[in-house]
Structure formats: C-alpha cells, structure tokens
C-alpha cells in the first residue's frame, strides 16, 4: 500500500471535524461545553498530524497500522457527542417513533420481545449479538488489512463514511430510544451472564441518550455485510448469523424501536451506494 500524507480514515475524520466545527459555530449560542468540543477536535487533529509527520519524515512503516486504525478508536467519542448537538434544532422526537411502532406493528416490540423470552440464556445470546458490532468494526478492517490489502482502502472509506453519515443525522435528530424514553419499570431487560455484564458496563461508561433513529448498530452491521458479500463472500456467510442476532438484539435490550432497525437497514443500503460511488469518483480523478 502506497504511503500517503494522510490515510483514508485520517482525512475522513478531519472532514467530519471540520463539518461539525461549522455546525458548532453556526449555532454557537446554543452550544454547551464549547471548550471540550473545540479542544477535543484540536487534540485529534494534532494527534493525526503528529503521527503522519513522524511516519513520513522518518519512514516509520510500523506506524502505518496505528495511523490506519486510530481513527476507529475516536468513533465512540464522536457518537457520544451527538447527545449534546441533537437538540439544537429540534426537541425530543421519541414519541413519534414510539407511535410508529404501534401503528406499523400493532404493539411495542421493544416491550414485548424480552417479556416473551425472559430466559437468562436467551438474554445472553442477545447481549452477545449486540456486542458483535465491536468485533465486526475492528475485526473486518483488520481481516482486509492482512488478507486483501488491495480492498482495504475502499472498505475503510465505505465503512467510516457511512458511520459519519449516521452521526450527522444524530447531530440533528434527537431520538434516544426505549431504554431512555420509557419509564424505568418498562425498560428492565432479563439478566444474562458475561456479555450481559460487558454490554451494560460499556453502556454505563460511554452511552448517552442519543442516536436511536436510524440504528447505526444495525446500519453499520449492514454496511459490513454488503462489503463482505461483494469483497469476501466466505466472510459474509460467517458473519450473517451473528448479524441477524445483532439486529434482533437491538430491540430486545431496548436500545431501539423496531422502526429504527428498519431505518438502519434502508440507510445502510443508501449510504453504501453513495460511499462506493464517491470512492470511485475520488480515485478516478
């Protein structure tokens, strides 16, 4: 892979930072925690710039993989930030999506699912499915890095560009999901075992009431399925059963309404198409 001043994940991250800076400046009087938001952006750009300078000036090839994957570690922070941006334009819209579930399905799937299957082993399977996204998000790009490096750049572009499109929606649309919108007595999920504890720990540490519609958990997984179906068919068939469990799990653990899941699938297909076309256009110039 040819050494560049900036790799795809780096310049996509910087692009998202620049766009959100304009958003912050546009609505500056309504923005809280300004020092944190501007400071974090300066720190991330500085880290990317420093590693790029170090790598290119001193030809430290071992830094390449660090530079390629470091931006993925920032995704959790960008996601959590959307909580502070989402109510700048609109107020909470959960009631609309809650009613959409009722209108389309004649019930509340996020309430009924865990009631119909309260067994601890089933809950553990659901929590494991939900956790699978974190494995997919790092594992699939790593697989392409080591096994199909000629496709790695496209995979990173399509994946990160799609994720940033989801985050851009969350920056403007305040929907928090059943786990935060419904009363505490209605959001209890049956206990599982290891993965139940692990997912709940992650949520307690970094989960903010944000980003319910469309589901990026489902959408990102769908993008990964589309990538592997087209670029690594055997990996696709390996991922598929876990991805299906993941999609069900988002409703089971009350992270999403069922319409969020459907919205995530539709958006993923659209974002996948857009990002591939954009990648081809950029690399044909």
Q: Which residues contact 235 (CB under 8 A, 6 or more apart)?
A: 140, 143, 228
Choice among 121-125, 161-165, 166-170, 281-285 with the minimum mean pLDDT: 281-285
Distance CA 111, CA 173 (A): 23
Q: What pLDDT score does 59 carry?
A: 76
Taking the alpha carbons of 184, 189, 192, 193 in that order, is the dihedral positive or negative?
negative
Residue 261 has pLDDT above 80, yes or no: yes
pLDDT band at 23 (very low <50, low <70, confident <90, very high): very high
The closest of 78, 57, 55 to 67, measured between CA atoms, is 55
Which is more confident, 132 or 28?
A: 132
Residue 200 has pLDDT above 80, yes or no: yes
Distance CA 250, CA 41 (A): 30
Residue 4 has pLDDT above 70, yes or no: no
Task: Give the chain's mean pLDDT.
Answer: 93
The whole-number average pLDDT for the span 150-169 is 97
The whole-number average pLDDT for the span 199-218 is 91
pTM of the entire structure?
0.94
Q: What pLDDT score does 30 carry?
A: 87
Distance CA 175, CA 16 (A): 21
Q: Do the beta carbons of residue 254 and residue 178 sit within 8 Å? A: yes
Distance CA 218, CA 34 (A): 31
Q: Is 13 exposed, middle or buried (0-12, 13-18, 19+ CB in 10 A)?
A: buried
pLDDT band at 204 (very low <50, low <70, confident <90, very high): confident
Distance CA 261, CA 214 (A): 7
Q: What pLDDT score does 139 carry?
A: 96
The whole-number average pLDDT for the span 267-281 is 97
pLDDT band at 185 (very low <50, low <70, confident <90, very high): confident
Q: Which residues contact 150 (CB under 8 A, 6 or more apart)?
A: none
The whole-number average pLDDT for the span 70-80 is 94
Q: Which helix (H) or strand (E) holds 276?
A: helix 258-284
Q: Which residues contact 53 (CB under 8 A, 6 or more apart)?
A: none
Residue 182 has pLDDT above 70, yes or no: yes
Angle between helices 120-147 and 149-170 (to 10 degrees): 130
Q: What pLDDT score does 3 carry?
A: 54
């Amino acid at each position: 892979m040819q050494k560049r001043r900036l790799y795809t994940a780096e310049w996509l991250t910087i692009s998202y930072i620049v766009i959100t800076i304009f958003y912050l400046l546009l609505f500056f009087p309504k923005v809280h925690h300004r020092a944190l938001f501007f400071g974090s952006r300066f720190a991330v750009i500085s880290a990317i710039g420093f590693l790029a300078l170090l790598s290119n000036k001193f030809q430290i090839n071992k830094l390449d993989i660090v530079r390629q994957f470091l931006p993925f570690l920032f995704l959790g922070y960008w996601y959590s930030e959307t909580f502070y941006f989402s109510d700048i334009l609109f107020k909470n819209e959960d009631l609309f999506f809650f009613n959409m579930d009722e209108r389309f399905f004649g019930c509340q799937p996020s309430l009924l699912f865990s009631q119909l299957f309260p067994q601890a082993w089933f809950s553990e399977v659901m929590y494991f499915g939900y956790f699978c996204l974190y494995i997919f998000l790092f594992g699939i790009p790593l697989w392409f890095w080591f096994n199909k490096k000629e496709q790695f750049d496209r995979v990173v572009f399509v994946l990160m560009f799609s994720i940033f499109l989801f985050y851009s929606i969350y920056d403007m649309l305040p929907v928090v999901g059943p786990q935060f919108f419904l009363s505490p007595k209605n959001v209890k999920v049956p206990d599982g075992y290891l993965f139940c504890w692990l997912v709940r720990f992650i949520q307690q540490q970094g989960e903010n009431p944000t980003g319910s519609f469309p589901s990026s958990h489902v959408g990102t997984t769908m993008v990964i399925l589309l990538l592997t179906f087209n670029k690594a068919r055997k990996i696709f068939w390996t991922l598929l059963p876990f991805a299906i469990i993941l999609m069900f799990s988002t409703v089971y653990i009350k992270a999403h309404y069922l319409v969020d899941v459907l919205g995530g699938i539709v958006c993923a297909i659209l974002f996948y198409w857009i990002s591939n076309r954009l990648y081809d256009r950029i690399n044909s110039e």
